[in-house]
Every structure is written in structure tokens, then in C-alpha cells.
Chains A and B, each alone.
Chain A
């Protein structure tokens, strides 16, 4: 059973604000999705732990030092920047 408290807790973990007025409808929606997800618990799994979906082995590359992207280029996308760093103000 998904509760309002569950939603508040996972919202905090997800770093999302949930509006007080949306809390009930969201709880209800999530309950529906969780019930749907619960259908998997009616099935027995015979196979053991499974963790390589595509049976792929890592396609390793050579361990060589290569030039990365210039700091200035990277910072162009930052909402705020100062002295070659990302800038985060305490408040705005």
C-alpha cells in the first residue's frame, strides 16, 4: 500500500517537490502503478541471479591518455560560472 508519507519520502530522495494539493492524486496514481508492478510477484523465477541482459562482454578500449574538452567550452552551458568554475549561489 502506497501512503502519502511514502510519496513524501521518495520525493525527498528524488529531489522533487510535490505540491500538497497533488499529493492525494499522486498517491493514488502510484498505487495503481505499484499494483501493476506487483503482478511480477505472482510469478516464480527458476533462474538464479541474472545480471547480464545481453551477454555482452565489455568492449574495452586502450588505456591511453587523451585530451579532454576545454574547460571554457564546458562552462558555456552552465547557468552561472566564475573563474573557470561552476557557480552556485547560496540563495537567489
Chain B
């Protein structure tokens, strides 16, 4: 054991670092600041920093201040408030908000104002949250850098020369840059975890079915899942518990068990698996940081088990085939007739729809629609789509077998740290190379599992490194428990210079 690390034996010996949500809750309850003042601080910070970070697409000061005023009224009347009440947050711009523009960072949805709220936002409004605005993302969540956004990519709060990651890059940039306390993103192939990792914060991708997808604009429906991006693991547990509910409007939703009550449980005797294949091709410093974290767990009394998961090697092509197939079908609805952008000049309905789609979708979205249509078309369906569906079954079974021997799996969140900005548009950029960078995150979505990304170090340039803990289905509480204990022992989060200082 390195001399600078103290051995941690029992939970009572340590002082807990409180998460941001509880800190704000205390500030509000103790009347150190009013909710309107707090909200104004965040709105000012957005005003000052958004030009550089490009985290927000739409800022909603009227909504936020009205929500904040209600919280202040309750406090003035001496009423008790909930943990999330009055806490300023943001939503990724593919989560529907009634009367508030929701663009998916695509030209084709400019001006679109949903007529209903997504279930997650409905649930959070019941908790009394303050919604600051809608955040940037890769167009239709298709990308790993946020740079396919029609509005330009969000920047990394640790270095403006680097991307925030994607697709939920705007949420990660906003939370890492303290322009929101937390946010909700969506994760289809890593879109919550990878940007959280790049921005040095926490991102939870819940089990498929734990959180309602009603009102989430679909990319690949059998993979998509909404989850929190936060500063602290405790915050992730609080937000997760508020949104993981059965919803009759999503026939795949069933909710999950709450994570907060067991967050600080002892982890002695827990079995943490490391699949050798997860470390293949991972940059040396990232691998070292993850293995160092494994040592921390050992010091805390957990057992590390190495094992093989050979099925990982085809998780990536399986994911891309299926996700693109689902995308090509989901994006068929954009026809210029019912909402969003419509081509100005055309001759006939077919021409109108084709022009609208060709002018409205960005390059990457068109590429994925074409590829998805290809794998679903006659002659290729059996070789690609059907084969990939069956292989997906093999991946699910491989994870099931692994979880017979371990409680969680520890892996890097991404094989590298944040990419340089402009990566996507470079002369040498190979699209396939960017797809390959998702290797660590996509297996989780392919198998429908929960996973949380937590900061575990920095590289030579000072960019954050993240690790993920992958759990059994509907066992978010165990991965959050393990993530929390690591965070409390190591404190690997680095503050950025941006935004509101609490």
C-alpha cells in the first residue's frame, strides 16, 4: 500500500463529504441564500460563460425564476422542502419540455416546442426543481464528441481545446463548469458516461427499463436510457431515486430500487470483476488509473477477480448495426409535415420530404440512417440485422454468466481522455475510428445493464480519467454504493474555474 494512502476500515472513522445537492438544500433551509438569488447566480454564470463553453442551446430564465420563487414562498411560509427542491438543473435537449424549444441539436427540429413534458421532467417538477435550460448534444445523440451538434460542440471545462465528449456533452460541460448543479442526459452507447468521464464528473446510465423514456426523443429505442450527470455520487443517487419510477406511458419501464439508503454500506467482501478484454487497447495511463482504483477497493476489503469476456470483441459492431437500424426507423418521422424544418422549394411530396431531410439532417445522422437502412434492406437483413440480434443475446448471456461470480465489473469508461476540439472535422478523421472509441461503453447498453462513471485520476495534460462500475440489471444501488465509497476515500474530482462557487 502506498504510504500516502490511509487504510480505511470502517465507515464511522471517515468524515463524509456532502454532495452538492445536500449542501444547497442546507443553504436554502438555513436561509443562507434565497432560491431566487441562487438561481440568478447560475443564470449570470451561464450568461458569462456559455459563449465559451457552448453548453446550453436554450436558457430559460423565466421558467427557472418562477420555479425558484415558488420555493422561496414555501420557505417563507415555514414549509419543509425536499432535497431536490430549488436545486438548479438542466436537461439535455432531446428531453421534451412543454412549450420550450427542444431541438435534439438538429436543424430539422428548430422551432419545435413539445406539447407535453417528458415523464422525467414531470417527476422532477413534482420535486420542485429549478430548470435553467436545455443543453447541447450531438445531433440526435449520434456522436461521441458533441461536435455533430447543429449549434457547434460543447467545450470541456477543464480545457477549451478539448471536447466535452458526447453525446450529452452540453450537460457534462454545464455540470463540470458549474453552470448547473446536475443534469439529465441520455445514454444509448455511452452518451452519459463518456462525457461525464471527459469532464471529470459522475454519470449514471440506469438499467434499461429503470427510467421512463416517455418524452425522450428516440435514437435507438432498445438502447436509450435517461440518467443523471452530477458532481457527486450522492447526487446521482438522489436524482436516480427521484426518476426511477414505473410509468404507464412507457411499456418497457418498471422503475428500480432506491439507491440512497444503502449508499454508505460497508463493501467488505464485495467481489469486483475486471474483464481482461476491457483493458485491451486502453491507453496506458488510463489503464493504470483504473488498476489503482482496484487497489483502493482491495484496501477497503473488496476482492478483485480477473476473468475473460471474449464476447466483448463483437459488442461494438453489434451495437452499431442495431442502433443504426433502429435510428433509420425512428427518424422516418421527420418529413417536414407535422413539426420542425421544411424545405422551402420543392416539386411534389416525395421531393419535399427528401429535400427537408437532406437539408435538415447533418452528415453523421444521414450516414447512420443510410447504414441502418442498408442492414435492414432485403438481402442484408439476415446477414447483419438478424445476426446482430442473436449475437446481442450471446453478449447478454456472457454478462449473466460473469455476474454469477462477481457483484460488479470495473472497467475504464473510455480508452482515452477527452479528444482535441475539431477532431471530427480534421483532414485525417476516420469516422470508424470515432466509433471504435466507444468500445468500453457500448457493451453495457447492448446488454441493458446499469453502469456509473466516476473520476479516478488525471492524465499528463490535466484531463480527467474516468472508470465505470457495471452492475447487474436493476442493481443500481450496488454500483452506486461502491462508487460512493471510492469517491469518499479518494476525492478524485477536480474543480474547474468556471461558474458558481458554492
List A residues at the B interface (Cβ < 8 Å): 2, 6-7, 9-11, 13-17, 26, 29-30, 32-34, 36-41, 43, 45-51, 53-56, 58-62, 69, 73-74, 76-80, 86, 88, 90-92
Residues in A whose Cβ lies below 8 Å from that of B355: 17
Interface size class of B (residues with CB under 8 A): 35 or more
B455–chain A nearest beta-carbon distance, Å: 29
Can you give 8 contacting A-B residue pairs, CB < 8 Å? A9-B377, A16-B369, A30-B367, A36-B320, A37-B317, A37-B384, A74-B115, A91-B348
CB interface residues, B 168-218, toward A, < 8 Å: 207-209
B58–chain A nearest beta-carbon distance, Å: 16
Residues in A whose Cβ lies below 8 Å from that of B76: none
- Beta-carbon contact of B337 and A69 below 8 Å: no
- Beta-carbon contact of B253 and A43 below 8 Å: no
- Beta-carbon contact of B393 and A77 below 8 Å: no
CA distance in complex: A47, B367 (Å): 31
- Chain A residue at minimum C-beta to C-beta distance from B253: A59
Residues in A whose Cβ lies below 8 Å from that of B448: 53-54
- Beta-carbon contact of A49 and B390 below 8 Å: yes
What DSSP secondary structure best describes chain A's contact surface?
loop
Residues in A whose Cβ lies below 8 Å from that of B343: 92
Task: State which of B129-137, B232-240, B243-251, B405-413 sits at the interface with chain A.
Answer: B243-251
In the A-B complex, list the 9 residue pairs whose CB atoms are closest, starting with the nearest.
Answer: A50-B393, A61-B248, A77-B339, A79-B342, A54-B448, A17-B358, A45-B390, A14-B373, A10-B373
Contact status of A40 and B314, CB under 8 A, knowing A30-B370, A78-B339, A88-B352: yes
Residues in B whose Cβ lies below 8 Å from that of A32: 430-432
19 more contacts with CB within 8 A, not counting A41-B383, A92-B345, are A6-B374, A14-B357, A14-B370, A15-B353, A16-B361, A16-B370, A17-B358, A26-B367, A40-B387, A47-B390, A50-B389, A53-B208, A54-B222, A59-B246, A59-B250, A61-B248, A69-B115, A77-B111, A79-B341
Contact of B336 among A17, A46, A79 (CB under 8 A): A79
Contact status of A56 and B254, CB under 8 A, knowing A37-B320, A50-B392, A79-B337: yes
Residues in A whose Cβ lies below 8 Å from that of B393: 45, 47, 50, 53
Q: Which of A6, A7, A69, A88 has the most CB of B within 10 A?
A: A88
- Beta-carbon contact of A45 and B391 below 8 Å: yes
- Chain A residue at minimum C-beta to C-beta distance from B318: A40
A3–chain B nearest beta-carbon distance, Å: 12
Contact status of A47 and B116, CB under 8 A, knowing A15-B357, A86-B338, A91-B347: no
Residues in A whose Cβ lies below 8 Å from that of B277: none
B306 at interface (Cβ–Cβ under 8 A)? no
- Beta-carbon contact of A92 and B252 below 8 Å: no
CB interface residues, B 289-331, toward A, < 8 Å: 314, 317-318, 320-321, 328
A85–chain B nearest beta-carbon distance, Å: 10
Residues in A whose Cβ lies below 8 Å from that of B321: 37, 40
CB interface residues, B 376-424, toward A, < 8 Å: 377, 383-384, 387-394, 396-397
- Chain B residue at minimum C-beta to C-beta distance from A12: B354
- Beta-carbon contact of B314 and A54 below 8 Å: no
Residues in A whose Cβ lies below 8 Å from that of B112: 77
A23–chain B nearest beta-carbon distance, Å: 12
- Beta-carbon contact of A15 and B354 below 8 Å: yes
Residues in B whose Cβ lies below 8 Å from that of A49: 389-390
CA distance in complex: A48, B389 (Å): 10
A58–chain B nearest beta-carbon distance, Å: 5
CA distance in complex: A19, B149 (Å): 22
CA distance in complex: A14, B112 (Å): 22
- Beta-carbon contact of A10 and B377 below 8 Å: yes
- Chain A residue at minimum C-beta to C-beta distance from B389: A50
One digit per residue, 1 when the CB lies within 8 angstroms of any chain A CB and 0 when it does not, for chain B 439-459 equals 000000001100000000000
CA distance in complex: A48, B397 (Å): 12
A7–chain B nearest beta-carbon distance, Å: 7
- Chain A residue at minimum C-beta to C-beta distance from B341: A79
Residues in B whose Cβ lies below 8 Å from that of A50: 389-390, 392-394, 396
CA distance in complex: A10, B349 (Å): 19
- Chain B residue at minimum C-beta to C-beta distance from A46: B394
CA distance in complex: A45, B390 (Å): 7
Q: Which of B318, B339, B350, B431 has the most CB of A within 10 A?
A: B339
CA distance in complex: A14, B335 (Å): 11
B366 at interface (Cβ–Cβ under 8 A)? yes
- Beta-carbon contact of B370 and A11 below 8 Å: yes
- Chain B residue at minimum C-beta to C-beta distance from A80: B342
A88–chain B nearest beta-carbon distance, Å: 6
Contact of A54 among B252, B352, B375, B384 (CB under 8 A): B252
Contact of B357 among A10, A16, A69 (CB under 8 A): A16
Residues in B whose Cβ lies below 8 Å from that of A40: 314, 317-318, 321, 384, 387-388, 391
- Beta-carbon contact of B317 and A16 below 8 Å: no
- Beta-carbon contact of A36 and B336 below 8 Å: no
